[in-house]
Structure 1
Amino acid sequence: MNVSLITSKFRTCFRCTRSVRLSAKVESAQPATKKLKRFYKEVSIQKTDLNNSASKNDDMYHHFNVFLDKRCLKTPGGKQLNVQNESLAMSIANEWLSQKEFIAPTSMHFTSLINTCIDNPLQLKTADIVSHLVERLESDTIMSLEIENGELMQVQLSSLRPIFTWVNQQWGSNLHPSRELIVSVSETCKQRCTDYLNKFSFDTLIGLKFASDSLKSVLLTVAAFEQQIDCESAVKLSVLEEDFQIAKWGNVEWAHDMSRLDTLSRFSSAILFATFSSEVHNVFK
């Protein structure tokens, strides 16, 4: 399947895909330390049956491969890049298709994430990722209020209230932003977060980890993943203090804009990756 019109087949949030396309312009402008010239002309996707005796209608017996010309894409570890979801395969293929004269690996977040899942260079287990995310709750960027600036604190409280209200309703928890320097999260809240995360596959958790690391916020990541807020709003909520200071003192446009779009690119890609990885496999029509 040729992927020249790949974006039109995405089955996901328009705002997320728009964020990825918009921020890709910034990625392509960043210099590379070592340039690799594009060595292929066409990008395509093929569906592979894992078991010839399996039902043709059973998606659990299919995976998708991305081909550069006639060569199947492999991970840095030399493993064949098998993708369980059609939309994710198209996202990866689109990254390779959009490369110009030289390949820019830093702009290929979907490819990097699937490589991490398949090669697993740190030998992580599902429990390791869940533990990492739960531990990050206490250092979540939206858990601490700026108590020395009353005006900013009111902005934080009003902007973040819907996020905490929704999270507490979903988890049956009692999380709230803290006025203390050291934030403490109860064991009950940690357990509720653990129970929520344990529902997901290894690949989905890798996406959620990458997203939360991009914003330094597990709570905003979960809200975006569950489509309670869009990716652009999540990024804005993660930098409320920065935007407050910019409104007061002014903005260095090129510097802040580049940084913001880079964060948006990474976060949006990770949320889409987690979403695709959590879906039941899609098959070609």
Structure 2
Amino acid sequence: MLKSVVRIFPQASCLLSRQQIIPARCPALLNLVKIQFNQYSSLEKPKRFYKKVGILQSNGDYEITLDHRKLKTPNGVLFKVSSEPLALAIAAEWDAQCDKIERSSMHLTGICNTVIDNPNRLTKFDLVQNIINFLETDTILYHTQEEEELRVIQEKEWGGILSWFNQRYGTSINYCMDISGPTISEKDRATVQRHFLSYNFDTVMGINFAVETLKSIVLALACVDRKLSIEEAVHLSKLEEEYQIGHWGRVEWAHDLDQQELQARVAAAIFYVHVNSLNESNGIKKKASN
């Protein structure tokens, strides 16, 4: 698990070693993107106010320290997690900040803050209902009927993953080729819902984060089950966009930033799901042995 922390969040290796605490074809579009990027960059960001980042174990949980101060959530609640690998990855996010703190880049911190504060007072059932609503709008269930070349690509790239999903989860979901959307049977909806309800609240929050990023339940669960890599899932979620870019060109740096941001968000969500699932499994084993 510690190796996966370093693989997904390479900053963690620096933290451990130091501290040992645990398209050019469209000028108008290019100008618009640059303006939006400059506006975003000019937003005031808090300065980094700490030198060292560490983790502290307390009563079976792990807290993040910034110098000698304990990290708190936006609501002022003590920030703590029950997984050491998760704590290390979060500490790495804070340690990677430069002169300014880019909170939007700290996806694991964001997920944990949402879980701890739960600002909308959501229950696990609320989260599952939000996820289930993506079934009818799942990215890979909408195939084009206008562009034959794109349709062939969609059938090739998406077809196998949908077949895997149906076999893995015992569903019979089919794609559609019109704007009315796919027809999801009550049986299939209930099957997928039961699967999500089998997870704890924290894990469902991570899955929800992945589904909202990829706009796809199928792709998110393929990542959770390690059927797809993060890069493959993001590629499939942007398949039509990639096809259009292949025909009309791209704004290279803007596209690369978008891809990296999506991959970072999905990687954080899937990592969060895996560490929480492992933590829950270990907890059940401990109870059984007592």
Matched with 2:217 is: 218
Q: How far did residue 47 of structure 1 move?
A: 1.4
Alignment of 1:171-250 (within 5 A): 171-183=169-181, 184-250=183-249
Matched with 2:109 is: 111
C-alpha distance in structure 2 between counterparts of 1:96 and 1:255, whole Å: 25
Do the aligned residues in 1 keep the contact of 2:9 with 2:92 (CA within 8 Å)?
A: no
Gaps of 5+ in 1: 1-7, 22-28, 50-61
Q: How far did residue 180 of structure 1 move?
A: 2.8
C-alpha distance in structure 2 between counterparts of 1:176 and 1:102, whole Å: 47
Matched with 1:58 is: none
Instruction: Call closer, same or farther: CA 1:17–1:71 in 2, change over 3 Å.
Output: closer
Secondary structure of the structure 2 residue equivalent to 1:39: coil
C-alpha distance in structure 2 between counterparts of 1:12 and 1:211, whole Å: 18
C-alpha distance in structure 2 between counterparts of 1:237 and 1:17, whole Å: 23
C-alpha distance in structure 2 between counterparts of 1:12 and 1:112, whole Å: 17
Poorly superposed stretches of 4+, deviation over 6 Å: none
Q: How far did residue 163 of structure 1 move?
A: 1.0
Over residues 193-222 of structure 1, what are the superposed CA-to-partner deviations in whole Å (9 max), with x where a residue is unaligned? 011101111111111111111111111011
Identity percentage of aligned residues: 35
Of 49, 58, 65, the residue aligned with 1:48 is 58
Do the aligned residues in 2 keep the contact of 1:32 with 1:104 (CA within 8 Å)?
A: no
Matched with 1:56 is: none
Do the aligned residues in 2 keep the contact of 1:211 with 1:271 (CA within 8 Å)?
A: yes
Matched with 2:150 is: 152
Instruction: Call closer, same or farther: CA 1:271–1:254 in 2, change over 3 Å.
Output: same
Q: TM-score when scaled to structure 1? A: 0.84
Q: How far did residue 42 of structure 1 move?
A: 0.9
* Alignment length (residue pairs): 255
C-alpha distance in structure 2 between counterparts of 1:189 and 1:103, whole Å: 44
Instruction: Call closer, same or farther: CA 1:13–1:145 in 2, change over 3 Å.
Output: farther
Q: How far did residue 81 of structure 1 move?
A: 0.9
Higher RCO by CA contacts (8 Å cutoff, separation 6 or greater): 1
Instruction: Call closer, same or farther: CA 1:185–1:13 in 2, change over 3 Å.
Output: farther
Matched with 1:265 is: 264
Do the aligned residues in 1 keep the contact of 2:52 with 2:95 (CA within 8 Å)?
A: yes
Alignment of 1:18-167 (within 5 A): 31=41, 33-49=43-59, 62-167=60-165
Instruction: Call closer, same or farther: CA 1:32–1:105 in 2, change over 3 Å.
Output: farther
Do the aligned residues in 2 keep the contact of 1:41 with 1:69 (CA within 8 Å)?
A: yes
- Aligned CA RMSD, in angstroms, stands at 2.3
C-alpha distance in structure 2 between counterparts of 1:41 and 1:265, whole Å: 24
Do the aligned residues in 1 keep the contact of 2:206 with 2:273 (CA within 8 Å)?
A: yes
Gaps of 5+ in 2: 14-37, 283-290
Do the aligned residues in 1 keep the contact of 2:5 with 2:88 (CA within 8 Å)?
A: no
Do the aligned residues in 2 keep the contact of 1:37 with 1:101 (CA within 8 Å)?
A: yes
